[in-house]
Copies of this chain bind each other. A is one copy, B any other.
Amino acid sequence: MGVLELDYSQYQTVYNVLSLALASMLATFIFLLVVQGRVLPRYRQALVVSAMVCLIAAYHYYRIFNSFTGSYVAVDEGTAAAAMDSMTYVLVNGEGFNEGYRYVDWLLTVPLLLFETIAVLALPRAVRKSMLLKLIPASVLMIVLGYPGEIAVDNVTKGVWGALSTIPFLYILYVLFVELSRAAKDQPTQVGKDLNGLRWLLLATWGVYPISYMIPMFGIEGADAFVWRQVGYSVADVLAKCLFGLLIYKIAREKSADDSATFAEEELEAAPSSK
Protein backbone atom coordinates (compact mmCIF):
# COMPACT_ATOMS: atom_id res chain seq x y z
CA MET A 1 0.00 0.00 0.00
CA GLY A 2 1.35 3.43 0.65
CA VAL A 3 1.65 6.08 -2.00
CA LEU A 4 4.12 6.18 -4.82
CA GLU A 5 6.15 9.19 -3.85
CA LEU A 6 6.81 11.31 -0.75
CA ASP A 7 8.75 14.55 -0.51
CA TYR A 8 11.44 15.15 2.10
CA SER A 9 9.25 16.65 4.81
CA GLN A 10 6.46 14.09 4.28
CA TYR A 11 8.96 11.25 4.59
CA GLN A 12 10.50 12.80 7.71
CA THR A 13 7.10 13.33 9.32
CA VAL A 14 6.05 9.69 8.95
CA TYR A 15 9.54 8.48 9.94
CA ASN A 16 9.60 10.58 13.11
CA VAL A 17 6.03 9.92 14.20
CA LEU A 18 6.53 6.15 13.88
CA SER A 19 9.71 6.44 15.93
CA LEU A 20 7.93 8.60 18.52
CA ALA A 21 5.22 5.97 18.90
CA LEU A 22 7.82 3.21 19.28
CA ALA A 23 9.73 5.15 21.96
CA SER A 24 6.51 5.92 23.85
CA MET A 25 5.35 2.30 23.81
CA LEU A 26 8.74 1.04 25.00
CA ALA A 27 9.02 3.53 27.85
CA THR A 28 5.43 2.96 29.01
CA PHE A 29 5.93 -0.82 28.86
CA ILE A 30 8.96 -0.62 31.19
CA PHE A 31 7.29 1.98 33.41
CA LEU A 32 4.17 -0.13 33.98
CA LEU A 33 6.27 -3.16 34.88
CA VAL A 34 8.49 -1.20 37.24
CA VAL A 35 5.67 0.45 39.20
CA GLN A 36 3.81 -2.80 39.91
CA GLY A 37 4.94 -2.79 43.52
CA ARG A 38 3.36 0.63 43.97
CA VAL A 39 -0.24 -0.60 43.90
CA LEU A 40 -1.89 -3.26 46.05
CA PRO A 41 -1.52 -6.83 44.67
CA ARG A 42 -5.18 -7.00 43.63
CA TYR A 43 -4.62 -4.21 41.07
CA ARG A 44 -1.42 -5.56 39.57
CA GLN A 45 -3.18 -7.72 36.99
CA ALA A 46 -4.50 -4.57 35.32
CA LEU A 47 -0.99 -3.04 35.26
CA VAL A 48 0.68 -6.11 33.81
CA VAL A 49 -1.94 -6.33 31.07
CA SER A 50 -1.44 -2.61 30.31
CA ALA A 51 2.29 -3.28 30.07
CA MET A 52 1.67 -6.17 27.65
CA VAL A 53 -0.47 -3.91 25.46
CA CYS A 54 2.46 -1.48 25.20
CA LEU A 55 4.94 -4.30 24.54
CA ILE A 56 2.78 -5.72 21.73
CA ALA A 57 2.38 -2.23 20.26
CA ALA A 58 6.14 -1.54 20.56
CA TYR A 59 6.81 -4.75 18.61
CA HIS A 60 4.37 -3.73 15.89
CA TYR A 61 5.73 -0.19 15.64
CA TYR A 62 9.22 -1.65 15.26
CA ARG A 63 7.87 -3.73 12.37
CA ILE A 64 5.92 -0.82 10.86
CA PHE A 65 8.98 1.47 11.11
CA ASN A 66 11.20 -1.08 9.37
CA SER A 67 8.53 -1.76 6.78
CA PHE A 68 8.32 1.98 6.07
CA THR A 69 12.07 2.63 5.80
CA GLY A 70 12.46 -0.53 3.72
CA SER A 71 9.73 0.49 1.28
CA TYR A 72 11.01 3.89 0.21
CA VAL A 73 14.23 4.79 -1.48
CA ALA A 74 15.59 8.33 -1.73
CA VAL A 75 16.04 9.80 -5.14
CA ASP A 76 18.06 12.99 -5.42
CA GLU A 77 16.48 15.50 -7.74
CA GLY A 78 18.68 18.41 -6.75
CA THR A 79 22.07 19.38 -7.97
CA ALA A 80 23.95 19.33 -4.68
CA ALA A 81 23.91 16.32 -2.44
CA ALA A 82 23.58 18.57 0.62
CA ALA A 83 20.23 19.93 -0.47
CA MET A 84 18.24 17.28 1.36
CA ASP A 85 15.01 19.12 0.82
CA SER A 86 15.27 18.41 -2.88
CA MET A 87 15.00 14.68 -2.14
CA THR A 88 11.98 12.62 -2.97
CA TYR A 89 11.30 9.13 -1.71
CA VAL A 90 9.81 6.59 -4.05
CA LEU A 91 8.01 3.37 -3.15
CA VAL A 92 10.09 0.36 -4.10
CA ASN A 93 8.14 -2.47 -5.60
CA GLY A 94 8.55 -5.40 -3.34
CA GLU A 95 6.95 -6.00 -0.02
CA GLY A 96 5.62 -2.48 0.03
CA PHE A 97 4.55 -0.73 3.21
CA ASN A 98 2.54 -3.17 5.31
CA GLU A 99 -0.52 -1.69 7.01
CA GLY A 100 -1.65 -5.16 8.09
CA TYR A 101 0.52 -4.87 11.19
CA ARG A 102 -1.91 -2.33 12.60
CA TYR A 103 -4.86 -4.74 12.38
CA VAL A 104 -2.85 -7.58 13.91
CA ASP A 105 -1.88 -5.18 16.69
CA TRP A 106 -5.45 -4.08 17.35
CA LEU A 107 -6.73 -7.66 17.29
CA LEU A 108 -4.46 -8.36 20.25
CA THR A 109 -4.43 -5.04 22.08
CA VAL A 110 -8.05 -3.84 21.88
CA PRO A 111 -9.50 -6.81 23.84
CA LEU A 112 -6.64 -6.42 26.35
CA LEU A 113 -7.39 -2.70 26.78
CA LEU A 114 -10.99 -3.54 27.62
CA PHE A 115 -9.79 -6.28 29.96
CA GLU A 116 -7.54 -3.86 31.89
CA THR A 117 -10.36 -1.30 32.16
CA ILE A 118 -12.58 -3.87 33.88
CA ALA A 119 -9.74 -5.45 35.89
CA VAL A 120 -8.64 -2.20 37.57
CA LEU A 121 -12.11 -1.62 39.04
CA ALA A 122 -11.95 -4.82 41.14
CA LEU A 123 -15.66 -5.41 40.61
CA PRO A 124 -17.38 -8.47 42.10
CA ARG A 125 -16.38 -11.59 40.18
CA ALA A 126 -19.80 -12.23 38.59
CA VAL A 127 -20.11 -8.63 37.33
CA ARG A 128 -16.56 -8.64 35.98
CA LYS A 129 -17.14 -11.90 34.15
CA SER A 130 -20.36 -10.69 32.58
CA MET A 131 -18.72 -7.43 31.41
CA LEU A 132 -15.78 -9.25 29.85
CA LEU A 133 -18.04 -11.76 28.11
CA LYS A 134 -19.78 -8.87 26.39
CA LEU A 135 -16.83 -6.57 25.67
CA ILE A 136 -14.16 -8.96 24.44
CA PRO A 137 -16.11 -10.84 21.75
CA ALA A 138 -17.57 -7.52 20.55
CA SER A 139 -14.10 -5.98 20.21
CA VAL A 140 -12.75 -8.95 18.26
CA LEU A 141 -15.76 -8.76 15.94
CA MET A 142 -15.19 -5.02 15.47
CA ILE A 143 -11.58 -5.48 14.30
CA VAL A 144 -12.28 -8.53 12.14
CA LEU A 145 -15.17 -6.82 10.34
CA GLY A 146 -13.12 -3.66 9.77
CA TYR A 147 -10.24 -5.37 7.99
CA PRO A 148 -11.95 -6.36 4.69
CA GLY A 149 -13.04 -2.73 4.35
CA GLU A 150 -9.54 -1.39 4.97
CA ILE A 151 -8.02 -3.47 2.17
CA ALA A 152 -10.98 -3.00 -0.21
CA VAL A 153 -10.43 -0.69 -3.15
CA ASP A 154 -14.02 0.21 -3.99
CA ASN A 155 -16.03 2.47 -1.73
CA VAL A 156 -19.15 0.28 -1.61
CA THR A 157 -17.30 -2.68 -0.14
CA LYS A 158 -15.47 -0.29 2.19
CA GLY A 159 -18.78 1.23 3.33
CA VAL A 160 -20.51 -2.11 3.94
CA TRP A 161 -17.71 -3.56 6.09
CA GLY A 162 -17.28 -0.23 7.85
CA ALA A 163 -20.98 -0.18 8.77
CA LEU A 164 -20.87 -3.79 9.97
CA SER A 165 -17.82 -3.03 12.11
CA THR A 166 -19.62 -0.04 13.66
CA ILE A 167 -22.34 -2.28 15.19
CA PRO A 168 -20.03 -3.99 17.75
CA PHE A 169 -18.33 -0.60 18.34
CA LEU A 170 -21.65 0.96 19.38
CA TYR A 171 -22.42 -2.06 21.53
CA ILE A 172 -19.06 -1.63 23.32
CA LEU A 173 -19.90 2.02 23.98
CA TYR A 174 -23.30 0.98 25.34
CA VAL A 175 -21.71 -1.52 27.72
CA LEU A 176 -19.02 0.94 28.86
CA PHE A 177 -21.21 4.00 29.27
CA VAL A 178 -24.46 2.44 30.49
CA GLU A 179 -23.89 -0.98 32.02
CA LEU A 180 -20.47 -0.20 33.49
CA SER A 181 -21.76 3.02 35.06
CA ARG A 182 -24.36 0.99 36.93
CA ALA A 183 -21.79 -1.60 38.02
CA ALA A 184 -19.25 1.04 39.12
CA LYS A 185 -21.55 3.40 40.99
CA ASP A 186 -20.02 2.46 44.36
CA GLN A 187 -16.46 3.43 43.37
CA PRO A 188 -14.74 6.29 45.27
CA THR A 189 -15.45 9.75 43.79
CA GLN A 190 -12.01 10.28 42.25
CA VAL A 191 -12.07 6.80 40.72
CA GLY A 192 -15.47 7.58 39.21
CA LYS A 193 -14.03 10.72 37.62
CA ASP A 194 -11.00 8.88 36.27
CA LEU A 195 -13.15 6.07 34.92
CA ASN A 196 -15.11 8.70 33.08
CA GLY A 197 -11.84 10.15 31.72
CA LEU A 198 -10.86 6.66 30.63
CA ARG A 199 -14.10 6.14 28.69
CA TRP A 200 -13.92 9.49 26.95
CA LEU A 201 -10.27 8.92 26.07
CA LEU A 202 -11.28 5.61 24.58
CA LEU A 203 -14.13 7.15 22.59
CA ALA A 204 -11.96 10.05 21.35
CA THR A 205 -8.98 7.93 20.33
CA TRP A 206 -10.98 5.06 18.84
CA GLY A 207 -12.89 7.69 16.88
CA VAL A 208 -9.66 8.52 14.99
CA TYR A 209 -9.58 5.04 13.45
CA PRO A 210 -12.91 5.21 11.54
CA ILE A 211 -12.02 8.75 10.40
CA SER A 212 -8.66 7.58 9.02
CA TYR A 213 -10.44 4.58 7.53
CA MET A 214 -12.93 6.76 5.69
CA ILE A 215 -10.35 9.18 4.25
CA PRO A 216 -10.24 7.40 0.87
CA MET A 217 -14.08 7.40 0.75
CA PHE A 218 -14.07 11.19 0.78
CA GLY A 219 -11.90 11.14 -2.32
CA ILE A 220 -8.87 12.37 -0.39
CA GLU A 221 -5.92 10.54 -1.83
CA GLY A 222 -2.25 10.94 -2.45
CA ALA A 223 0.76 11.58 -0.29
CA ASP A 224 -0.82 14.05 2.14
CA ALA A 225 -3.69 11.71 2.94
CA PHE A 226 -1.18 8.91 3.50
CA VAL A 227 0.97 11.07 5.79
CA TRP A 228 -1.96 12.28 7.87
CA ARG A 229 -3.38 8.78 8.19
CA GLN A 230 -0.04 7.59 9.61
CA VAL A 231 0.17 10.56 11.97
CA GLY A 232 -3.46 10.09 13.06
CA TYR A 233 -3.12 6.35 13.71
CA SER A 234 0.17 6.81 15.58
CA VAL A 235 -1.01 9.65 17.82
CA ALA A 236 -4.26 7.79 18.53
CA ASP A 237 -2.27 4.66 19.42
CA VAL A 238 -0.01 6.56 21.82
CA LEU A 239 -3.02 8.09 23.56
CA ALA A 240 -5.11 4.90 23.54
CA LYS A 241 -2.29 2.73 24.89
CA CYS A 242 0.30 4.81 26.78
CA LEU A 243 -1.93 7.53 28.22
CA PHE A 244 -4.65 4.90 28.81
CA GLY A 245 -2.16 2.70 30.67
CA LEU A 246 -1.02 5.62 32.82
CA LEU A 247 -4.65 6.41 33.70
CA ILE A 248 -5.14 2.76 34.68
CA TYR A 249 -2.10 3.16 36.98
CA LYS A 250 -3.60 6.34 38.46
CA ILE A 251 -6.89 4.57 39.18
CA ALA A 252 -5.05 1.60 40.69
CA ARG A 253 -3.14 3.97 43.00
CA GLU A 254 -6.33 5.73 44.08
CA LYS A 255 -8.11 2.47 44.75
CA SER A 256 -5.11 1.15 46.67
CA ALA A 257 -5.07 4.25 48.86
CA ASP A 258 -8.82 3.93 49.34
CA ASP A 259 -8.53 0.25 50.33
CA SER A 260 -5.61 0.57 52.73
CA ALA A 261 -4.64 3.34 55.10
CA THR A 262 -1.11 1.94 55.41
CA PHE A 263 -0.66 2.16 51.66
CA ALA A 264 -1.94 5.72 51.61
CA GLU A 265 0.43 6.77 54.34
CA GLU A 266 3.54 5.17 52.84
CA GLU A 267 2.93 5.95 49.22
CA LEU A 268 1.35 9.36 49.03
CA GLU A 269 3.03 12.67 49.61
CA ALA A 270 4.09 13.38 53.16
CA ALA A 271 1.16 14.92 54.98
CA PRO A 272 2.04 17.48 57.69
CA SER A 273 0.59 15.14 60.30
CA SER A 274 3.10 12.40 59.49
CA LYS A 275 6.05 14.44 60.67
Contact = CB atoms under 8 A, between A and B. Distances in A.
A49 B88 CA distance: 39
Secondary structure call for the A interface: helix
Interface stretch (A32-40, A134-142, A174-182, A203-211): A32-40
A202 interface: no
A95 B122 contact: no
A76 B93 contact: yes
B81 A4 contact: yes
Interface in A77-116: 80-82, 84-85, 87, 91, 93-96, 98, 100-101, 103-105, 107-108
Interface string A167-191: 0000000000000000000000000
A15 B1 CA distance: 14
A42 B257 CA distance: 12
A187 to B, nearest CB: 11
Instruction: Give the oligomeric copy count.
Output: 2
Contacts of A151: 9
Contacts of A34: 33, 36, 48, 51
Interface string A254-266: 0100010000001
A26 B42 contact: no
A267 interface: yes
A30 interface: yes
A251 interface: no
Interface of A: 1, 3-4, 9, 12, 15-16, 19-20, 22-24, 26-27, 30-31, 33-36, 38, 40-42, 44-45, 48-49, 51-52, 55-56, 59-60, 63, 69, 74, 76, 80-82, 84-85, 87, 91, 93-96, 98, 100-101, 103-105, 107-108, 122-125, 128, 151, 153, 255, 259, 266-270, 274-275
In the A-B complex, the 6 residue pairs with the smallest Cβ-Cβ separation, listed nearest first, are A122-B269, A16-B100, A20-B104, A27-B52, A41-B267, A76-B93
